[in-house]
Amino acid sequence: MPVNALQTIGGFPISLVIFAGIALFLVLRLRSVLGKRVGFERPPLRPAPFSGADAVPTLERRGLNAISGRQVPDPSSDLGTRLMQIVNRAADFDPPAFLQSAEAGFRTIVLAFAAGDRAALRPLLTDTVFQTFDAAISARESANERHQTEIKSIISATIEDAQLLGDQAAIIVRFISDQTTTTQNAQGDTLHSGDSTADIVDLWTFERNLKSKDPIWRLAAARSG
């Protein structure tokens, strides 16, 4: 369907128009979610260069002032255009749903890494990132140290970039969170307490092969924002 054809409907999917008469409150409830998907269902766009594959996974972080919101990029923007390449290659890809899953994955990975839970980490990471995390966990174990991390809140989760090269898709998400991390020795003595004095910014690159039946977007790189 041509781009202008969807835009002339007023920014709403046809399904909302059909069901508008059933219950007004239902339309209002769904508008905030489905409205973000309008424009992400159009013909394929020109390919963009892939930039996520060479990112080096690290565990570094730094503080930055908070920014709020979890908005999906405007489909007419450059970033929205790149997301459209993925939408048109993967029928199950929905940017708002992806962002929710990415945020859930962020929580799981951060807490599993702190706990040294390799079983929880393995299916959520690429091989390279898992090796990096595994090495860091092994170093803690050798030093008889334990980490305890608490995610007080995820202030912001936004899509920073999206690229597609062949069948390989990569999406970078910027997370801004309020976290505390404590390191203890084998006797339970606190070696380091990392109460945050500023919001922590992480840029995580999630990757997925769109030809694979596996729907999981795995963490392929992590760096401070």
**CATH number, span 50-224:** 3.10.450.240
What is the model's pLDDT at position 149?
Answer: 87
Contacts of 75 (CB under 8 A, 6+ apart): 38, 39, 40, 42, 81, 83, 84
Per-residue pLDDT for the chain (225 aa), expressed as one digit of tens each? 444 443 444 454 544 444 444 333 333 332 332 233 334 443 333 333 334 333 333 333 333 333 345 788 888 899 999 999 999 999 889 999 999 999 999 999 999 999 999 999 999 999 999 999 999 999 999 988 888 888 999 999 999 999 999 999 999 999 999 988 888 777 666 666 665 556 899 999 999 999 999 999 999 999 986
Q: Which stretch of DSSP H or E encloses residue 25?
A: helix 24-34
Name the token pair of 151: 């995610």
| Ramachandran bin of 195, using left for φ above 0, alpha for ψ from -120 to 50, beta for the remaining angles | beta
Cβ proximity of 214 and 163 under 8 Å: no
Cα separation of 41 and 30, whole Å?
17
Of all residues in the chain, what percent carry a pLDDT higher than 70?
Answer: 63
What is the model's pLDDT at position 224?
Answer: 82
Q: Specify the amino acid at residue 155.
A: I
What is the model's pLDDT at position 32?
Answer: 32
Cα separation of 72 and 159, whole Å?
7
Cα separation of 74 and 111, whole Å?
32
What is the model's pLDDT at position 141?
Answer: 92
Can you tell me whether residue 152 is helix, strand or coil? Answer: strand
What is the model's pLDDT at position 29?
Answer: 34
Which residues of the chain are in CATH 3.10.450.240 domains? 50-224
What is the model's pLDDT at position 71?
Answer: 81
